[in-house]
Amino acid sequence: MGVLLFIIAYILFLPLTIINFMFVRKKGYFLDSAVSIDKFGNREFRASLNKCLIKQNSPYKFGNINETISSVLGKNQKYGYLRKGGKIVCLILDTIDKNHCEKSISWK
């Protein structure tokens, strides 16, 4: 049952987002949605993100629903706890938006 509900939710997400935008018509809607998805990803994929992007001894772990992936990456970048994969992700994000990971640090 869980798999079926997951598939239905996944399929409905994009069309419902577009329909909702038509009603909301708020500037920044898609940025707000992207941050929400980012926070969800930080929580949902914490095991693989912790394993692949940061060193095991890092005190700054993925998994807090109130924090973005970029924020966790920024903390680990600042204190030298990134693995090679984390450095690559930060490089990509920082190329798109200068100092993105550092600017996104949240201490919540």
What DSSP letter does each residue of 3-47 carry, written as one string? Answer: HHHHHHHHHHHHHHHHHHHHHH--TTHHHHHHHHHHHHHHHHTHH
> What pLDDT sits at residue 108?
63
What is the total count of domains within the chain?
A: 1
In a domain, 85, yes or no: yes
In a domain, 18, yes or no: yes
Contact 76, 105 (CB under 8 A): no
Give the domain range for residue 69.
Answer: 2-103
In a domain, 24, yes or no: yes
pLDDT band at 92 (very low <50, low <70, confident <90, very high): very high
Which tens digit of pLDDT belongs to each residue from 80-89?
999 999 999 9
**pTM of full prediction above 0.95:** no
Sort residue 87 into left (φ over 0), alpha (ψ -120 to 50) or beta.
alpha
Which two structure tokens, joined as six digits, stand for 84? 């090679």
pLDDT band at 107 (very low <50, low <70, confident <90, very high): confident
In a domain, 75, yes or no: yes
Percent of the chain whose predicted confidence (pLDDT) is above 90: 90
